[in-house]
Amino acid sequence: MNFQQKLEKAVKKNNSLLCVGLDSDVEKMSSGTIRHPTQFSFNKAIIEATSDLVCSYKLNTAFYESIGHLGIKALKDTCDYLMTNYPEIPIIIDAKRGDIGNTNKGYVQFVFTYLGGDAVTMHPYLGEEAIRPFLDEKDKGIFVLCRTSNSGAGEFQDIEFKIKNSKLRINRKLRLYEYVAYQASHSWNMDRNVGLVVGATYPEELKNVREIAGEQMWFLVPGIGAQGGDTATTMKAGLNKKGTGLIINSSRGIIFSKDPRVEAAKLRDKINQFR
């Protein structure tokens, strides 16, 4: 079973497009209402409270690296715990890596062998040839950063240029994020293992990316909740005709809330209203 099949099975089983982001920042983790001594025990509590409400979990490596090797161990323990107890739920490692080919092999080992992740997020700046070691992992999911959710995302991503590419049958003006969407969906995706990261804070751009990438591709969508993205607008802009194709991530808004289960259920149901 490849990543897309595993994801679609989880979407169906839990009737959910919600991804809970386990951004277990040690500073916030110990200051909220639900307190836990370690990132791993905190994550276990969140997973226990939400496992029947999600289509996937996303772990952003930054919150674990921040405390060094013990954080990386907590990240691995969390992945091991998920694989043992919830093997049907896909694990997305939000690592935003991207190096030259030879070096990316180390990151492939980290994300897929050591952690046992099902999918990863990647920077596009070095191009397809560099991320080939990731793309060659046919059963995994490779989410390429396309339009990021941050307020200054447009600095490079909105640059516009005329492009003539006979292979892709393009002969018009495109913005950089649109060209990344074209390349990732049409050139890099021979094994149907590529997805895109598009922020909920940019619904117009999300709509463009859906038009470019087509019906089949899954988008990982951060930016709902704390970052200001609106659920209804996001769903309308990005959903495919089957009412899927979007993995809606929420992290802080759920895991540091008074009742993560209640918040997760609320958001899952809200998302489903628009499917």
Active-site residues, by number, are 96
125 touching a second copy, by CB under 8 A: yes
160/269 with CB nearer a second copy: 160
Among 99, 139, 191, 230, binds a second copy (CB under 8 A): 99
Contact 130, 98 (CB under 8 A): yes
- DSSP annotation of 108 reads H
88/160 with CB nearer a second copy: 160
250 touching a second copy, by CB under 8 A: no
73 touching a second copy, by CB under 8 A: yes
Write out the H or E segment, with its range, that includes residue 179: helix 176-182
Q: What is the largest CA-CA distance in the chain?
A: 57
Least distance (Å) between residue 94 CB and a second copy: 8
Least distance (Å) between residue 226 CB and a second copy: 9
> What Rg, from alpha-carbon coordinates, does the chain have?
18
Among 1, 13, 159, 232, binds a second copy (CB under 8 A): 159
38 touching a second copy, by CB under 8 A: no
101 touching a second copy, by CB under 8 A: yes
How many CB atoms neighbour CB 251 within 10 A? Answer: 24
Among 33, 37, 152, 172, binds a second copy (CB under 8 A): 152
DSSP string, 6-53: HHHHHHHHTT--EEEE----HHHHTTSSS--SSHHHHHHHHHHHHTTT
Among 161, 166, 169, 273, binds a second copy (CB under 8 A): 161
213/265 with CB nearer a second copy: 213
Quote the CA–CA distance of 185 and 200 in Å, as a whole number.
19
55/176 with CB nearer a second copy: 176
176 touching a second copy, by CB under 8 A: yes
30 touching a second copy, by CB under 8 A: no
Find, among 59, 13, 69, the residue nearest to 251 by Cα: 59
Contact region for a second copy (CB under 8 A) — 45-53, 91-99, 202-210, 253-261? 91-99
Contact region for a second copy (CB under 8 A) — 33-41, 175-183, 241-249, 262-270? 175-183
DSSP string, 230-258: -HHHHHHHH--TTS--EEEEESHHHHTSS
Quote the CA–CA distance of 187 and 183 in Å, as a whole number.
5
